[in-house]
Amino acid sequence: MPEPASITLFSTACLGLVVRALQRRYRAVRPYVDWVAAFVLFVLASPAMLFCAMLVKLTSRGPVLYTQERVGQFERVFRIIKFRTMYDGAESETGPVWASGDADPRVTPVGRVLRRLHLDELPQLINVLRGEMSLIGPRPERPHFVAMLREQVRDYGKRFAVKPGITGLAQVKLGYDRTLRDVRRKVKYDCMYIRRMCWWVDFLIISGTAARVLLGRRERRSKRAGGTLGAQ
């Protein structure tokens, strides 16, 4: 008669095989689900996007859309698309700098509202349709800051194993980065998501994101003084 320990080991091995098979299936199907979902969301969000575009155009000079280099899967650089939330040419003289949250003088009044409601992120659905991003994944950062963070934050490079996302586990749990400590905490959540990514986890993240946007839940603020990584 088999020993209980042998049965336990056999059951664990079988469970591991099933989990790995499901993960392979999930990763194979996920790009198609991303594309279809992004297309549907783009169509549904078109009226809101048109309204946002009109607000940006009527309240400040410059283009409606803003593109910026970001680092994606396998460290490939792509241009992310967002509604412009800063005054045109805000970084033309300073280059990439740490922003200062809601008090950032470079952000327009309309831009603050768009950021607070996350409406400035809607054009990134185009990045998903292009295959540069997913709906869910680690947020992509600018090359300038990636070079710095790789040296200062452990496991930062592991984030590039998957496509970056419009939303993600770290964004739902923590909000905006304000210090290196915040970045380290986010990287832990990003790595946790990459290890456990599946349809159920994606559903929980989408639900959490909807709660932030629809219920107007405020971003968590760091108690430490510091800036926010990135600009637009």
Give the pLDDT of the chain (232 residues) as one tens digit per residue.
555 555 565 556 565 556 567 678 898 999 999 999 999 999 999 999 999 999 999 999 999 999 999 999 999 999 999 999 988 877 765 566 655 555 677 889 999 999 888 899 999 999 999 999 999 999 999 998 898 899 899 999 999 999 999 999 998 888 677 788 889 999 999 999 999 899 999 999 999 888 877 765 544 443 433 343 444 4
230 closest CA partner among 75, 27, 66, 76: 66
| Amino acid 11: pLDDT | 58
As a whole number of angstroms, the distance between CA 153 and CA 151 comes to 6
| Amino acid 12: pLDDT | 60
Contact 209, 160 (CB under 8 A): no
Contact 178, 112 (CB under 8 A): no
- pTM exceeding the 0.85 threshold for the entire prediction: no
| Amino acid 107: pLDDT | 87
| Amino acid 188: pLDDT | 94
86 closest CA partner among 109, 53, 69: 109
